[in-house]
């Protein structure tokens, strides 16, 4: 069996290696346009920052062997043509026409089975000056070398990142560590559109605290300069810069598939079934060039990630070698590190869930990631999105300096298994003070959701409270924290009655008004609401998340 694979970064090498392990008699040929093979594109920001010291570390095995053509031939029995471009797929003759980019020679490579793993390419916005020198993208190793060279020209740089997605935000840390002054420009209302507003606001505030200028709802209109870029022009201003990184997203590379008559899906990726087969039973596709399906909505989606590419490649290899396997879909589980701040999400955001027609209950739950008395405990904020009808978990998001990936990985498992918040709240998760509170953050968040679903209290979002304040609505805004906490930081138009004194001072609270309670994380706010309800107060709400997640201006009293 002759297997040809087009693409040598993530999915291609994974498919080739797996096919060799399962079918030793298979003749596997891998075609890659670039020089480098099987490298970790997601590691490029850390190579630029210097955390990854050498380029070769991005394409080494765990024991330090570089994955080059010799390695693939000797260890994987895969013949590699790198610096070779696949020009055309002839499905009738079952051949791939290729061009050696060094000699210019053309030749055909025959196949019995073909795997298309052509990946994605950076989106280049059609903006004046986009082709100026020092306007970079970041996808290939060569791109990282160009950026490193630009950084080496001077000790300090003014850098503009166009696009507030994962790559753009991860690059901020690398550039700040290199002494740069960084501005992020995002045309949408917020960076990281995978997050809901109250969560992404935490990230934006954190970036600003690190010296990153974040300009949202801002469109770039031109890149200025003669030969090299000197400034970025927006609708509002001109921002001087030494170089620009375009991080406006990626689009699947499907030219070969499209010209070969294979179906392209509504997302722009190659349409495949759960066995990673295209409409041609002898042609498979895997990785960033493919359309995917969302496990919750069952609708097509496009979420290009190296982890997904490797899983899809394994499925394609298994099916080619006669095993019964399938790739069910994705729920867009994502994590990123920004300095010492962590961001993760999985499933549907609140915005997505409502767009899909779900009637949802949401939870904001800030708490330490470890036992509160443990010295390395750090605050994390969890948000859950729950289907009100079925009580199923639909999505989860987490931000903060503490451990978030563990919670989101558990949530991703629960979503995949169609678990309810009731099921999750009884999970037998590990506990020791250095690792988690006795009631893990995710379990606590699920219990809050259960309380809401069971009608034990009514919540109100921070955004809704802010809108009430801005409209000048009259309500009783009850802060039940301690006087010390209140003096350190407080909100406007609030009345302080510490929880321990609430029963004694309950007559001070008017029954005819809407009452909104809160504390640091709204646990005491919830207890206050229960006390008020037991005393006959009917219109009581708890502000979700408390002052810990209030993203707007606070009043600070240093007296």
Q: Mean pLDDT score of the chain, rounded to an integer? A: 95
pLDDT tens-digit map of 325-342:
999 999 999 999 999 999
Phi, psi torsion values for 380, nearest 5 degrees: -130, 155
Q: Are 215 and 161 in contact (CB under 8 A)?
A: no
Beta-ladder partners of 336:
343
What pLDDT is stored for residue 398 in this prediction? 98
Residue 258 has pLDDT above 80, yes or no: yes
What pLDDT is stored for residue 385 in this prediction? 98
Q: What's the average model confidence in pLDDT over 181-200?
A: 96
Q: What's the average model confidence in pLDDT over 233-253?
A: 96
Alpha helices in 39-89 (DSSP H): 44-49, 69-75
Residue 559 binned pLDDT confidence (cut-offs 50, 70, 90): very low
Q: What's the average model confidence in pLDDT over 303-319?
A: 97
Phi, psi torsion values for 39, nearest 5 degrees: -105, 160
Q: How far apart are CA 72 and CA 79, in angstroms?
A: 7
Q: How far apart are CA 134 and CA 485, in angstroms?
A: 49
pLDDT tens-digit map of 271-307:
999 999 999 999 999 999 999 999 999 999 999 999 9
Q: Delimit the CATH 3.50.50.60 region(s) of the chain.
A: 2-121+251-320, 135-248, 334-452
User: DSSP readout, 402-413?
Assistant: S--HHHHHHHHH
CATH topology of domain 135-248: FAD/NAD(P)-binding domain (3.50.50)
What pLDDT is stored for residue 557 in this prediction? 54
Asked if the 334-452 domain carries CATH number 3.40.50.720, the reply is no
Catalytic site residue from 42, 289, 301, 446: 42
Residue 416 has pLDDT above 70, yes or no: yes
Comparing CA positions, the residue from 51, 56, 54 lying closest to residue 37 is 56
What pLDDT is stored for residue 259 in this prediction? 98
Residue 16 has pLDDT above 90, yes or no: yes
pLDDT tens-digit map of 206-233:
999 999 999 999 999 999 999 999 999 9
Torsional class of 156: left (φ above 0), alpha (ψ -120 to 50), beta (otherwise): beta
CA triple 260-263-264, angle to 5 deg: 105
pLDDT tens-digit map of 128-187:
999 999 999 999 999 999 999 999 886 678 999 999 999 999 999 999 999 999 999 999
3-state helix vs strand vs coil in the chain, percent to 5: 30, 25, 45
CATH of domain 459-549: 3.40.250.10
pLDDT tens-digit map of 532-553:
999 999 999 999 999 999 988 8
Residue 266 has pLDDT above 80, yes or no: yes
Asked if the 2-121+251-320 domain carries CATH number 1.20.1250.20, the reply is no
What pLDDT is stored for residue 553 in this prediction? 80
Q: How far apart are CA 531 and CA 503, in angstroms?
A: 8
pLDDT tens-digit map of 23-65:
999 999 999 999 999 999 999 999 999 999 999 999 999 999 9
**Kind and range of the H or E element at 379?**
strand 379-387
**Kind and range of the H or E element at 358?**
none
Q: Are 62 and 37 in contact (CB under 8 A)?
A: no
What pLDDT is stored for residue 558 in this prediction? 43
Gap between the terminal Cα atoms of the chain:
79
Q: Count the residues in the chain.
A: 559
Cα within 13 Å of Cα(249), Cβ side: 13
> Catalytic residue at 321?
no
* Contacts for 454 with CB less than 8 Å, ≥ 6 apart: none
User: Residue 10 CB: number of other CB atoms within 10 A?
Assistant: 27
Cα within 13 Å of Cα(392), Cβ side: 17
């Amino acid at each position: 069996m002759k297997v040809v694979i087009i693409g040598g970064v993530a999915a291609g090498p994974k498919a080739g290696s797996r096919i060799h392990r399962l079918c030793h008699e298979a003749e596997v040929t891998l075609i890659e346009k670039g020089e480098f093979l099987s490298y970790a594109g997601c590691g490029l920001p850390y190579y630029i920052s210097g955390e990854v010291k050498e380029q070769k570390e991005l394409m080494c095995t765990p024991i330090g062997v570089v994955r080059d053509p010799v390695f693939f031939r000797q260890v994987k029995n895969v013949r590699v043509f790198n610096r070779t471009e696949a020009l055309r797929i002839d499905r009738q003759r079952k051949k791939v026409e290729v061009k050696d980019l060094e000699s210019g020679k053309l030749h055909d490579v025959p196949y019995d089975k073909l795997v298309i793993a052509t990946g994605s390419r950076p989106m280049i916005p059609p903006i004046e000056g986009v082709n100026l020198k020092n306007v970079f993208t970041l996808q290939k190793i060569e791109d990282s070398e160009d950026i490193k060279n630009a950084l080496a020209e001077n000790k300090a740089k003014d850098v503009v990142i166009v696009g507030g997605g994962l790559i753009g935000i991860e690059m901020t840390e690398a550039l700040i560590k290199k002494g740069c002054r960084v501005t992020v420009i995002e045309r949408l209302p917020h960076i990281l559109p995978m997050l809901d507003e109250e969560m992404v606001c935490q990230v934006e505030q954190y970036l600003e605290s690190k010296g990153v200028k974040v300009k949202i709802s801002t469109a770039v209109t031109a890149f200025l300069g003669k030969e090299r870029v000197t400034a970025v022009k927006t609708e509002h201003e001109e921002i001087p810069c030494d170089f620009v990184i375009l991080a406006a997203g990626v689009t699947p590379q499907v030219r070969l598939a499209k010209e070969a008559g294979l179906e392209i899906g509504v997302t722009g990726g190659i349409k495949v079934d759960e066995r990673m087969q295209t409409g041609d039973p002898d042609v498979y596709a895997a990785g960033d060039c493919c359309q995917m399906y969302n496990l919750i909505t069952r609708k097509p989606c496009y979420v290009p990630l190296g982890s997904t590419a490797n899983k899809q490649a394994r499925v394609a290899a298994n099916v080619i070698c006669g095993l019964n396997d399938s790739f069910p879909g994705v729920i867009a589980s994502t994590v990123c590190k920004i300095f010492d701040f962590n961001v993760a999400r999985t499933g549907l955001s609140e915005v997505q869930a409502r767009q899909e027609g779900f009637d949802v209950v949401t939870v904001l739950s800030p708490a330490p990631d470890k036992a509160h008395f443990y010295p390395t405990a750090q605050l994390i904020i969890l948000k859950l999105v729950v289907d009100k009808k079925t009580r199923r978990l639909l999505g989860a998001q987490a931000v903060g300096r503490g451990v978030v990936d563990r919670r989101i990985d558990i949530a991703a498992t629960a979503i995949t298994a169609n678990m309810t918040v009731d099921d999750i709240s009884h999970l037998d998760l590990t506990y020791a003070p250095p690792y988690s509170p006795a009631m893990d953050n995710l379990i606590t968040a699920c219990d809050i959701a259960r309380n809401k679903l069971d009608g034990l209290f009514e919540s109100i979002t921070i955004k809704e409270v802010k809108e009430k304040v801005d409209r000048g609505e009259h309500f009783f805004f009850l802060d039940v924290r301690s006087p010390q906490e209140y003096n350190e930081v407080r909100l406007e138009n609030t009345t302080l009655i510490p929880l321990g004194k609430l029963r004694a001072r309950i007559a001070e609270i008017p029954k005819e008004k809407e009452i909104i309670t809160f504390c640091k994380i709204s646990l005491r706010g919830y207890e206050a609401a229960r006390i008020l309800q037991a005393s006959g107060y009917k219109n009581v709400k708890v502000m979700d998340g408390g002052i810990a997640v209030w993203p707007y201006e606070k009043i600070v009293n240093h007296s």
